[in-house]
Structure 1
Amino acid sequence: MKQRNKVVTLLFIAGVINYLDRAAFSVAMPYIKDYLSLSPTEIGLMLSSFFFGYALFNFVGGYLSDLFGPRKVMAIAMLSWSLFCGLTGLAFSYIILFIIRVLFGMSEGPISTNVNKVITNWVPVHERAKAIGIANAGNPLGGAIAGPIAGFLIVMWNWRVAFIVLMCLGFVWAFYWLKSFTDKPENHPTIAQSEIDEYHASLQHTAASQTAQAKLPLRFFLTQPLVLATGIAFFAINYILYFFLTWFPSYLSMAKGLNITEMSMASAIPWLLGSVGMVIGGTVSDYIFKKTGKLLFARKLLIVAGLIISAICIVFAGIVQSVEHAVIMMSLGIFFMYLAASSPWSIISDSISPDKVGGVGGFVHLLANSSGMIAPILTGLIVDYTGGNFIAAFALAGVVGVIGALSVAFFVRPIKTTNKKNAFLSEADA
């Protein structure tokens, strides 16, 4: 087995733990709601509290990975969020739980940008989208098993014990990560030279554009249409994701009358399809690139098609009457959303100089995860205002998805450095 495949496997497991810890809170929310006597608006605020810290540290974590390397940053992030996951089970008031969730979000913030940094450092260009898809497929798989696992732990003991048990998984992963991973393949003691050579040979696809970017400062990239439009598309992907992650379990409970066991099993189905969609999306994107030789086109096509089909399915999920049809349409919506989800990371990895991938990826992820602060609160307000009706909330998620698709279709173009290069180079050399 190639060493980079072992690295991607470790990232996949980190994603499983990440979403298992995160999604368990939504599964436990009906119990937390009763314990703290929360209204829908208060539930929305609590569900959004995670993202107040998470979105900011998407950028901070990515920037730190450029400075100190993803090995240290990933280990600290995993240990920290696992600790706050456990502390969630010890909270006894709304304010304390809110603060813990903010700190939990701050700790999880670096993971996705660091995953992208690791893959940029380790995986050849022609395999990156597939590797990103596999690594991030752990996220929806974690969400899928969170329902049954958290539901089982809650039924067997209580919601507090569930978070303490989940905390231990992250500690074990961090131990193996520090033991087996290096920031770059050439620093690994057991990697084959042929694997290193294959990686460097693949860089010819992006070498010219990234060499021209080498001395440009980070702020140059943060204003580029490619980066901003990718951020808007990622915002749309995550709006759909966080609408589903934070509210779909409660929707099944509040609007469809499912109990904790039924809700846990039903909400797992979209996650499972999402995991499959993530892998397929990355694989298909790499296949299109190999067939056409058009790298950016291969990434854009998956985003535009995936988001538009996802948006249609999400709207129908809010209209249909039966639980079965709602779960089917939501499952298809999440599948196509995840079909698009690896491509924003691939665009950044393919288009940005490696020494800036962490910072730029973190900025894009910050834009994306601002949706986590908006979607849960806005959904709670809509449900409150409409007297418990979710249709408008589903429709809004669909509209956001279409806007994200159009932003990529019309505004993602290769970065041009010729116009501003000299001005930025003079500042960088000063």
Structure 2
Amino acid sequence: MSSAAPSPYRWVVLLLCWASFTMTSVDRSTWGPASAAVSDSLHVPLAALGIFATCYYIGYVVSNAAGGFLTDWLGSRVVLGTSLLAAGSLMIVFGSTTSIPLGLTVQGLVGLFAGVEFSAGMKLITIWLPESELGRASGIFMTATSLGTVIANAVVPTLIEHADWHASYHLFGGVTVVLALLCAVFLRDGAARADSAGRALPDIRPLLHNRNLLLLGLAGFGGLWGTYGFVTWSNTLMIKGSHISPVDAGIVVVIFSAVAVAVGVKPVVGWLTDGLGFGMRLPIMVILVLFTATLLVFGALRSYTAFLVVAPVLGITAYAYSPLTAAMIPKPAGGRLTGSAAGTVNAIWQLGSVLVPAAVGPVFHASGSFHAAFAVLAIGPLLGALAVLGVRDDRPQRSSAVDVPDRGLRAGASSAGGPTA
């Protein structure tokens, strides 16, 4: 990466990072459409279903926090290959479980190994792509979360209908293992990795005082509270609260995520912010406010037709903010600490995913109110929009430099003195 032009290999890197993140998103999203069948199979009470998702997200948060540090230390290739192999194998194990305690333990372990793809992927993207392409690249990378929901909700209900819920975990676990092997063979960490301080432990102390990163963490926490609260609970809420069939509920969630993928909302939002040059803070705020309003509207609906009408709008608002919050991380973090910053910030984001399943279940169980459950979901993005108010001006400074690793390392060195704008 010492030449003036970025390497064409950057697209191979982006493809593999995107595929890895997509597959772990599929694994994460499988629980939503499978949960009702698991409840019947393992005799899990409705109010306790969210505990399975919470166990997964506890492991996911821990691996995000530790995985970013390991990425900066050991390199993305090792971390991605190892984590995908372990997560896929554990998905297969969960698909064979008949015990609630074992199932809870394995779910936590799957999350523990599946949470590093974001930080490792963002590290590689920052190394191999120039700053002028980060918004678009981040948008493409972040389509993984919505596409994972589409795949899971399109495939799992059909597999349950024709086989059982175990088949879903066996299938997706096997695909994850295959992808781990592809990453081990084809991914490279790049010159920036070779030029860094060997395998010295990265010093993450500058990140602990970075105000922008903390606020980005709070913004993403609120956003994912709404997004993954919907992904985790919407199937069951529609089935139990509005009495529609599991397949119809799956179709609603597929549309929720598929529209965001089909219209390319994440790459488009990233591309627009790259081109317009007015920063990402204001678009994030607007999107999160619209997300809040749409969740409240969805919670007021009762018919399958109405769900189908509102689901596309909800899907766009639920996913459009994520590439912007992700693309804002590298600049205040600096190249040397991009993995640690991405992992730490995403760990804060995923706390929303940890807490919301356990929060919605008791509310719906106690009140029986579909609308009350969605009001709980809407609290998150509203608080996220308020957090973005405190983020400093992030309008980019244009530069002709495209030597991303060198520039990132210089930025990392400058960040050691404390927060950057």
TM-score by length of 2: 0.86
Residues 382 and 101 of structure 1: CA distance in aligned 2, closer, same or farther (over 3 Å)? same
**Contact 1:225/1:413 (8 A) holds in 2:** no
- 2:309 corresponds, among 317, 328, 343, to 328
- 1:107 corresponds, among 87, 92, 113, to 113
Shifted more, 351-360 versus 54-63: the winner is: 351-360
Distance in 2, Cα, partners of 1:121 & 1:309 = 33
| Cross-structure match for 2:409 | none
Distance in 2, Cα, partners of 1:234 & 1:287 = 23
Q: How many residues align?
A: 383
**Contact 2:224/2:353 (8 A) holds in 1:** yes
- 1:390 corresponds, among 350, 353, 370, to 370
Shift of 1:185: 5.9
- 1:91-106 pair list within 5 angstroms: 91-106=97-112
**Contact 1:277/1:336 (8 A) holds in 2:** no
Shift of 1:323: 2.2
Letter matched to residue 267 of structure 1 = V
Shift of 1:397: 2.2
Residues 21 and 226 of structure 1: CA distance in aligned 2, closer, same or farther (over 3 Å)? same
| Cross-structure match for 1:232 | 218
- 2:269 corresponds, among 278, 281, 294, to 281
Distance in 2, Cα, partners of 1:233 & 1:411 = 10
**Contact 2:42/2:99 (8 A) holds in 1:** yes
Letter matched to residue 147 of structure 2 = L
Establish whether residue 220 from structure 1 lines up as the match of residue 206 from structure 2. yes
Shift of 1:349: 1.2
> What per-residue deviation string (whole Å, max 9, x for no partner) do you get for residues 317-367 of structure 1?
101222222343343123123111111211111222111111121111111
Distance in 2, Cα, partners of 1:8 & 1:114 = 11
Distance in 2, Cα, partners of 1:282 & 1:351 = 18
More helix by share: 1
**Contact 1:26/1:249 (8 A) holds in 2:** yes
- 2:380 corresponds, among 394, 400, 425, to 400
Distance in 2, Cα, partners of 1:44 & 1:21 = 16
Aligned residues with identical type, % of pairs:
21
Shifted more, 61-70 versus 260-269: the winner is: 260-269
**Contact 1:233/1:407 (8 A) holds in 2:** yes
Residues 330 and 225 of structure 1: CA distance in aligned 2, closer, same or farther (over 3 Å)? farther
Letter matched to residue 227 of structure 1 = L
Residues 145 and 370 of structure 1: CA distance in aligned 2, closer, same or farther (over 3 Å)? same
Letter matched to residue 367 of structure 1 = I
**Contact 1:122/1:185 (8 A) holds in 2:** no
Shift of 1:57: 1.0
Name the SS of the counterpart of 1:411 in structure 2.
coil
Distance in 2, Cα, partners of 1:152 & 1:402 = 35
Unaligned runs of 5+ in 1: 189-215, 290-296, 415-420, 426-430
Distance in 2, Cα, partners of 1:237 & 1:349 = 19
| Cross-structure match for 2:243 | 257
Distance in 2, Cα, partners of 1:217 & 1:171 = 32
Name the SS of the counterpart of 1:298 in structure 2.
coil
**Contact 1:48/1:374 (8 A) holds in 2:** yes
Shift of 1:175: 1.8
Distance in 2, Cα, partners of 1:357 & 1:19 = 21
Distance in 1, Cα, partners of 2:53 & 2:256 = 20
Distance in 1, Cα, partners of 2:311 & 2:358 = 20
Letter matched to residue 317 of structure 2 = F
Name the SS of the counterpart of 1:258 in structure 2.
coil
Establish whether residue 358 from structure 1 lines up as the match of residue 339 from structure 2. yes
- 1:298 corresponds, among 257, 267, 279, to 279
Give the aligned CA root-mean-square deviation in angstroms.
Answer: 2.1
Distance in 2, Cα, partners of 1:168 & 1:242 = 24
Shift of 1:406: 1.8
Distance in 1, Cα, partners of 2:295 & 2:327 = 25
- 1:39 corresponds, among 41, 45, 49, to 45
Distance in 2, Cα, partners of 1:402 & 1:186 = 39
| Cross-structure match for 2:398 | none
| Cross-structure match for 2:298 | 317
Distance in 2, Cα, partners of 1:163 & 1:31 = 13
| Cross-structure match for 1:58 | 64
Residues 413 and 227 of structure 1: CA distance in aligned 2, closer, same or farther (over 3 Å)? farther
Distance in 1, Cα, partners of 2:235 & 2:101 = 23
> What per-residue deviation string (whole Å, max 9, x for no partner) do you get for residues 238-262 of structure 1?
1111111110111121122222322
TM-score by length of 1: 0.84
Establish whether residue 368 from structure 1 lines up as the match of residue 349 from structure 2. yes
> What per-residue deviation string (whole Å, max 9, x for no partner) do you get for residues 280-330 of structure 1?
2212221222xxxxxxx5221221111111111111110122222234334
Letter matched to residue 282 of structure 1 = G
Distance in 1, Cα, partners of 2:293 & 2:166 = 38
**Contact 1:317/1:327 (8 A) holds in 2:** no
Distance in 1, Cα, partners of 2:70 & 2:329 = 17
Shifted more, 54-63 versus 11-20: the winner is: 11-20
Letter matched to residue 335 of structure 2 = P
Letter matched to residue 5 of structure 1 = W
Letter matched to residue 95 of structure 1 = P
| Cross-structure match for 1:308 | 289
